[in-house]
Structure 1
Amino acid sequence: MDPIGYVDDKSESRLYIGNLDLRITEAALIKMFSPYGKIISEDFLWHTRGPKRGEPRGFAFIQYSSKEEAEMAKEKMHGKLACGRPLVVRLASEKSQLETANNSSKAMGEGHKIHFTGNGVGQTSRSAKIAAIKNKLKSIEEESSRPKKQKQTDDVS
């Protein structure tokens, strides 16, 4: 979806599938969603870094050949239990619209927080926010790469 709000046909036939149990495989996901139409692509997301590297992230995207097939799959599969967990199924365009709405409301709240702390700036620049996120990620990576400290026990015989 672009900033103006235009949604192309591809995004209208693409589904976001969330709340996936980590035991669900790509093959199982395709098998669950194939009765509703022709699947033309599937993106099963994996952790690429950190301690969970190579493990599923718990969500995926499925692209159908038509908007109608995607809507049918959404209607039939949303809330359906898979490995004991209810699936969250939305059109991918709906997911991005919800995130945009949530992020803009969070940003407004953050802007007020910054203003009330006496910063004087009112809002931080985009590049400053990106730099802060990069620094946070770097510190997390450094923290996870450090050897764990073990408790020392004093043997007094």
Structure 2
Amino acid sequence: MANKSLIKSINKNSNSAVGAISEEHRRIWVGNLDSRISEFQLLKLMQKCGAIEKFDMLFHKGGPMVGQSRGYAFITFKHNEGATNALRKLDGSNVGSRSIAVRLAKNIKYDDLQRPKPRIEIPALGSGKREDKISKAEAIRAIEAKLKALERQTDDNLELNTTGREHNMPIIHRYQYNKSRDDAQRAGPYGKYNKSKASAPYMRQLPKRH
């Protein structure tokens, strides 16, 4: 509260300044301010250059950055020497994490400061609808190729000796058919014929007479 009162008192007393001294030579613009710099900190820095008549630091009034500094301020000194000292001592000096810029306010176009900055798009990032369609088409083709490769691999694993009758069968039918055939072949040595033969009584073979 004390900081706000100090700034208000400075701005209130500006009406008592000598009107004969041209304001355009006493009013400066300070830009490229670190967003962490407060009004009070900037005010104390400017007071080192001379007595201040008016102090105006601008803030965002809406949007996601509401309440944050716009990065610049206008300061009017009581005498020309104050503005001259600020231009000579502070322009290009490091304040916070930035190198601030100090100019006479008459050389700054206020409309340019208020105008929104043009949006810069990098072609590689701002791809647009056409490139989105191309990327989707490429993704679909890649998926189709992978499915075909999997289908070929499945066919190789499930039908090793495909005959003419099996060729036109769906994959699942071919798998069931081949599985049944393989089961029958594996059961061959233990089938009915061999089982009956193995269950016959043992008959000793008589030696042949010469």
Q: CA deviation digits over 1:77-122, x for unaligned, max 9?
A: 000001121010001012239x6xxxxxxxxxxxxxxxxxxxxxxx
Corresponding position of 1:9: 22
Gaps of 5+ in 2: 1-20, 117-210
- 1:28-81 CA distance string (max 9 Å, x none): 001111111101111010001111111111100111001221011111000000
Separation in 2, partners of 1:65, 1:37? 8
Flag the structure with more relative contact order, 1 or 2, with Cα contacts below 8 A and sequence separation at least 6: 1
Distance in 2 of aligned mates of 1:67 and 1:91: 11
Query: Where does residue 34 of structure 1 map in the other structure?
Result: 47
Distance 2:43 2:49 in 1: 10
* Aligned position for 1:51: 64
SS in 1 for 2:75: strand
Q: Which runs of 5+ in 1 are unaligned?
A: 1-7, 100-132, 134-157
- Counterpart contact for 1:71–1:91, Cα < 8 Å: no
What is the distance in 2 between the residues matched to 1:12 and 1:71?
9
| CA RMSD in angstroms, aligned pairs only | 2.0
SS at match of 1:58: strand
- Normalized per residue, the structure richer in strand is 1
Q: What is the match of residue 89 of structure 1?
A: 102
Higher helix share: 2
Question: 1:69 — aligned with what?
Answer: 82
- State the identity as a percent: 36
Aligned residues: 92
User: Is residue 21 from structure 1 mapped to residue 34 from structure 2 by the alignment?
Assistant: yes
2:53 counterpart SS class: strand
TM-score by length of 1: 0.55
- Compare CA radii of gyration and give the structure with the larger one: 2
Q: TM-score, normalised by structure 2?
A: 0.41
Q: CA deviation at 1:11?
A: 2.0
Residue type at the aligned position of 1:37: G
Aligned 8 A contact 1:18 1:89 in 2: yes
* Runs of 4+ with deviation above 6 angstroms: none
Q: Equivalents in 2 of 1:52, 1:96: separation in Å?
A: 23
Q: Relative to structure 1, is the Cα distance of residues 95 and 56 closer, same or farther in structure 2, using a 3 angstrom cutoff?
A: same
